[in-house]
């Protein structure tokens, strides 16, 4: 719709009771539904390593594979993992095995089989905290620094849905371009970018001088935006204005473990660099 229109959105009168028949189409219409639970019986594959990751190389998925590769790079051999591809566009997240690990049917989901009883971990932020505490890495022990890390991890978990489900959906995936929601979520996305740019003008990494799980959580989303890798929206959002985020994004993106982790469970981009499944370090070499 033209930005000069006097009516910035299509008029809509909600029915007294919503029903699925009233929902619009779009890129994810075939897998959206108003109830939880499994749609079909499907066991999950299990590999040889203690950690079994079921995911896709979206920004949320990249958080965990980056963390795992960083742990391995730091010498934590117990962080070896199998990464299995979950094709969310085909509804694989609604298989019974996946729902057993994550009742919310969202990637990523992790199963830790290193102990007597397997431990399920879901929600990307929870997985980062679990791995950081399990291996004693990338999470400060000092209470003040630890709290600042959690501050920004929780900020990302609460803020990024406005970028993905809000801006990304209406700008890139919705069946039609609507001025009101695009403007609404573009404004919020730029506000969040400004929050980070101001923060990074005062410190090297998100939580301070130390690289932490907060950087791993925030980089795939906001680093991806300023590097022009999300939604084809770099020019639209004028990401060149966020020089401090760009400085940080370049530094984090140059880390070998970050470069390795972002390729795992990848299905987009150059097929020669993407690794849909990862079962050994050599899969990335």
- Annotated domain spans of the chain: 51-138+269-284, 143-254
Strand order in the sheet with 109-112: 81-85, 51-55, 109-112, 119-122
Local structure of residue 95 (DSSP, 8 states):
B
pTM above 0.85, yes or no: yes
> Is the distance from CB of 261 to CB of 63 less than 8 angstroms?
no
Q: Let me know if domain 143-254 sits in CATH 1.20.1050.10.
A: yes
Which residues of the chain fall short of a pLDDT of 70? 1-10, 22-25
What local confidence, expressed as pLDDT, does residue 29 receive?
73
Tell me what pLDDT residue 7 has.
59
51-138+269-284 has which fold?
Answer: Glutaredoxin (3.40.30)
Spatial CA neighbour of 231 closest among 270, 186, 184: 186
What are 157-179's pLDDT values in tens digits?
999 999 999 999 999 999 999 99
pLDDT digits (tens, 9 = 90+) for 77-98: 999 999 999 999 999 999 999 9
């Amino acid at each position: 719709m033209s930005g000069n229109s006097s009516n910035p959105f299509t008029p809509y009168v909600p029915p007294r009771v919503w029903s699925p028949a009233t929902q619009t189409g779009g890129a994810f219409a075939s897998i959206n539904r108003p109830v939880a639970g499994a749609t079909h019986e499907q066991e999950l594959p299990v590999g040889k390593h203690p950690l079994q990751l079921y995911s896709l190389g979206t920004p949320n998925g990249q958080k965990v594979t980056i963390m795992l590769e960083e742990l391995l790079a730091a010498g934590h051999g117990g962080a070896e993992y199998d990464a299995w591809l979950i094709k969310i566009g085909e509804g694989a997240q609604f298989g019974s095995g996946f729902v057993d690990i994550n009742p919310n049917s969202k990637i990523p989901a992790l199963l830790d089989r290193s102990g007597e009883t397997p431990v399920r971990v879901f929600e990307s932020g929870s997985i980062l905290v679990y791995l950081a505490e399990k291996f004693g890495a990338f999470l400060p022990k000092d209470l003040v620094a630890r709290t600042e890390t959690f501050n920004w991890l929780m900020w990302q978990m609460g803020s990024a849905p406005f970028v993905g489900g809000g801006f990304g959906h209406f700008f890139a995936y919705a069946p039609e371009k609507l001025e009101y929601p695009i403007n609404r979520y573009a404004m919020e996305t730029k506000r969040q970018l400004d929050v980070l740019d101001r923060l990074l003008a005062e410190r090297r990494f998100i939580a301070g001088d130390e690289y932490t799980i907060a950087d791993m959580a925030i980089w795939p989303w906001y680093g991806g935006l300023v590097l022009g890798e999300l939604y084809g929206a770099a020019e639209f959002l004028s990401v060149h204005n966020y020089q401090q985020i760009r400085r940080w994004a370049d530094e984090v993106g140059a880390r070998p473990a970050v470069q390795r982790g972002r390729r795992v469970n990848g299905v987009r981009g150059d097929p020669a660099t993407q690794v849909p499944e990862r079962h050994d370090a050599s899969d990335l070499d």
